[in-house]
A and B are shown apart, each in its own frame.
Chain A
Amino acid sequence: MIKNPSIRDLARGEGPVTELNVKDQEPLPPPYDKLDEEPPMAALSSSAKERFVNLDNTIAVNIPKPKTKAEEERLVKGFLSGMQKLFNAGDNWTFLQPLVLSMEHCARCQTCSESCHIYAESGHNPLYRPNYRSEIFRRLYFKHIKKEGTWARGDMELNWEAVARLIELAYRCNLCRRCAQTCPIGVDNGMMAREIRKLASQELGIRPKELHDDGSMLQQKVGSSTGMSSIVVKDNMDFIDEEMTEKTGLTLKTPWDVEGADVLLMHNAGEILAWPENPGAFGILLEAAGVSWTLSSDLAAYDSINYGAFYDDVQLARTLILHIQAAKKLKVKKILIGECGHAHKAMTVIADRILTGDLNIPRESWLPFMVDIVRQGRIKFDKSRNDFPVTLHDPCNITRLMGISEPQREIMRAVVPEERFREMTPHGVNNYCCGGGSGFAIIGGHNFPDWRFRGPGRRKFRQILNAFQGEKMDKEHPKYVCAPCSNCKGQIRDMLKYYDAWEKAGINYGGLVELMVNAMPEAKPGFIDWEWH
């Protein structure tokens, strides 16, 4: 195993190329400032090492090692044919221009490296440089497809190991595009990682099962990646209605399939199962503001997720169409997207160049919608109910990739005492990813979760700890990390658990609507349940 792998090492030898070595990491702020006292990172099992392609002693994709020469060749041939299709306007009109721009003009200056939380937190392991995988992809393309000389574009051997490892490596990037912000040329290494994922999925049928079989496919077949059918989801929401009514003292009856409602609200269905107080809080707020709203029980319409945004343009388009058809059927004025970052981006920005005519129904983030309600004073808040330190995580998809940054802060100012709010450094469009972006939060095989807490998530945990420095770091002094995105929340939940952050530092987490309902004087106090974490 190599500590500082070179580009060409990706095509060399058996076994892992390198690994995230926790000994190379910078210690965290107190009370986690002793590197050797941090929880250990689980090792990859020997059976996994035997069966699957191993890039860095963790596995996201589960690519079986080819057993025969023919299988090896099939992998390489499929990769080359997929690569060609990425540069074909018919197959890849979706990203052809951004892709070619990033292929042609990288100056290989490494300005982007330091901006990447994964690279920085890995102790600067070159494998995790934003440009490492892009450069390999470029070299393979120019040498093996365009047949250009290597003196200008660089050399790279093509074999099944390089192909399989490159696909696995495409899942060592959160697609947060923080690196793209810093590139002086405008090259986008996050987009490049996604293009490699697309090639693997759309041509070779290779991708993590959590995103595809248990994700977008399940959603398109059953209605939700949670596996909930429309009957089950209605049952669950009935239960949530009862719970919320009891908890807040405000009657909640979630409206379903109301034709002509102003707003069709779409939740990430994971919220309904994992954080029922989130859809519950949405209901309480919309009712309190007198909004004409509904949920839809149509296929996929009660689950806003669109994992295609992470790995597959065809799956992206399919799920999008299901979402839109449900809205069209109910003749709503707009779709309102709840606390789910990638659903925001998929349904608003990305969808914008897919939908035409009567399918182009307005889609809006819940944040500006709610700010409007807050400004009009349609809901009363008592900030003193949120008298604890709060910090805010900006989901990349909502902030850096959609430019929604101020509304969440305006809401924060309305429901949290000013002296209790702590911005992370950096924040807003310059934030760091939570480490769960691009599907990581739900990829849970082998020791991958540990890798994502120790690698990508570590920068966010560092930011959280920094934001709360100066506070008493124990659970008698609860602190709240507000993460208005389901995937971010999942990652933060799991990471806080990994670091035992509630017991050790009194750090808990939740969404933004929960903070809002917690501050409603009409509701019974104590909506946020600190002991549940």
Chain B
Amino acid sequence: MSLIPYLLAYAGIVVFVVAVIARIRMFARMPMHLRWELYPVPHEASRAAHGGSYLEEVDWWLKPREVSKAAELKAMGTEILFLEALHKHNRPMWRSSFPFHFGLYLVIAATALMGAGSVLAHLADGFAASGFGSLWHAAVVLTGAVGLAISIYGALGLLQRRLTSPDLKDFTTAADVFNLAFFVVAFGCAFLTFALFDRSFTLVSTFIHNLVTLRFEPVASGQAGLMVGVSVSLLAVLLAYIPLTHMSHFVGKYFAYHSVRWNDAPNLQGGPQEAGIMANLTQKVTWAAPHIQSGGEKNWVEVATMDYKKYGGGEKK
């Protein structure tokens, strides 16, 4: 029995990593698309404040481009940490979504701290008993407990909106409700474990330590052991489930911002984009409307440069 949570935890991590990589690969391998940026674009340095771009500059192609990666990172940071867009455009939802997401970050931080702590304890004898070790431990308890609590609070708020807001009702699917409920149950279980049996996060730290050191022993007996096992199992399934749903938007959002909204890299004569463009233009066009005139055979260059007058525009007016 005690093996099951360990196996589920490994499986959850593997599925998560594989699914996220597969999603990244799917987006990264797509052909270069047409430019479709949307302003403001934060890396436009001094112009970003008014939403401007280098296209505001006469003969921009003859001038060096001013790109501020720092401004881009700052915009990313505030968006990821504080959900700035939601704060600006949908404050009622932000009041739930922000604690939900921020709580999630804290839980991830707590897990990472526990994992790293276990490695440190392994490398340095006496780490746990040291002052630094106590501080580390306090950070685990604080981030873990607060993270779980505010995440549950946020998920309940989101669930309530989903179920009661007339704006959302028609757009809500069974999965939308299930996903939030799953979070509430999995995090709720973890929080109960903390509140009832593991105020110092010792049991769960031990579990993570065992996970890292491949020691599949029960971390406690009785109800405490059961609760840790159930919590870990639920969290592992949740971890595997997330990237298989639209909740993997953390991947999509990266591409939506970097590859579409903020992608204003100009294509200059002889530049690196030309090969990608040529690869695109030599693809076959199979669109079937009469004006396309491809017959399923011609490529984009041929279709775009054909003599329109000769074919009479392709169809009668």
Asked if residues A400 and B38 are in contact (CB atoms below 8 Å), the reply is yes
Band of interface residues on B? 35 or more
Asked if residues A93 and B286 are in contact (CB atoms below 8 Å), the reply is no
Asked if residues A98 and B33 are in contact (CB atoms below 8 Å), the reply is yes
Closest A residue by C-beta to B174: A151
Q: How far is it, in angstroms, between the C-alpha of A318 and the C-alpha of B102 when the chains are bound? A: 49
Say if the beta carbon of B317 comes within 8 Å of chain A: yes
Asked if residues B173 and A183 are in contact (CB atoms below 8 Å), the reply is no
Asked if residues A91 and B285 are in contact (CB atoms below 8 Å), the reply is yes
Chain A, range 64-106, C-beta contacts under 8 Å to B: 78, 81-82, 85, 88-91, 93-98, 100-102, 104-106
Asked if residues A364 and B58 are in contact (CB atoms below 8 Å), the reply is yes
Asked if residues B285 and A406 are in contact (CB atoms below 8 Å), the reply is no
Q: How far is it, in angstroms, between the C-alpha of A90 and the C-alpha of B260 when the chains are bound? A: 19
* Contact string against A for B residues 172-183, beta-carbon threshold 8 Å, 1 for contact and 0 otherwise: 111110100000
Asked if residues A89 and B53 are in contact (CB atoms below 8 Å), the reply is no
Describe A's contact surface by its main secondary structure: helix
Asked if residues A186 and B56 are in contact (CB atoms below 8 Å), the reply is no
Chain A, range 452-496, C-beta contacts under 8 Å to B: none
Closest A residue by C-beta to B88: A182
Chain B residues near A315 (CB-CB < 8 A): 291
Asked if residues B53 and A403 are in contact (CB atoms below 8 Å), the reply is yes
Stretch from A45-53, A350-358, A510-518 contacting the other chain:
A350-358
Asked if residues A368 and B57 are in contact (CB atoms below 8 Å), the reply is yes
Closest B residue by C-beta to A333: B59
Say if the beta carbon of B309 comes within 8 Å of chain A: yes
* Contact string against B for A residues 135-168, beta-carbon threshold 8 Å, 1 for contact and 0 otherwise: 1000000000000001111100000000000000
Q: How far is it, in angstroms, between the C-alpha of A364 and the C-alpha of B61 when the chains are bound? A: 10
Say if the beta carbon of A180 comes within 8 Å of chain B: yes
Say if the beta carbon of A304 comes within 8 Å of chain B: no
Closest A residue by C-beta to B167: A110
Asked if residues B175 and A151 are in contact (CB atoms below 8 Å), the reply is yes
Chain B residues near A109 (CB-CB < 8 A): 86, 90, 93, 168
Asked if residues B285 and A182 are in contact (CB atoms below 8 Å), the reply is no
A97-B260, A205-B290 given; A108·B33 CB < 8 A: no
Asked if residues B58 and A183 are in contact (CB atoms below 8 Å), the reply is no
Say if the beta carbon of A220 comes within 8 Å of chain B: yes
Chain A residues near B10 (CB-CB < 8 A): none
With beta carbons under 8 angstroms apart, the residue of A105, A182, A191, A218 that contacts B252 is: A105
Q: Report 21 cross-chain contacts, Cβ distance below 8 Å, ordered by A residue.
A: A88-B286, A94-B33, A97-B30, A97-B260, A100-B27, A108-B168, A109-B90, A110-B168, A111-B90, A113-B167, A151-B175, A184-B85, A203-B289, A217-B314, A314-B291, A349-B35, A352-B266, A353-B33, A356-B278, A368-B58, A369-B58
Which 4 pairs, one residue from A and one from B, show the smallest C-beta to C-beta distance? Answer: A186-B256, A403-B53, A429-B51, A105-B252
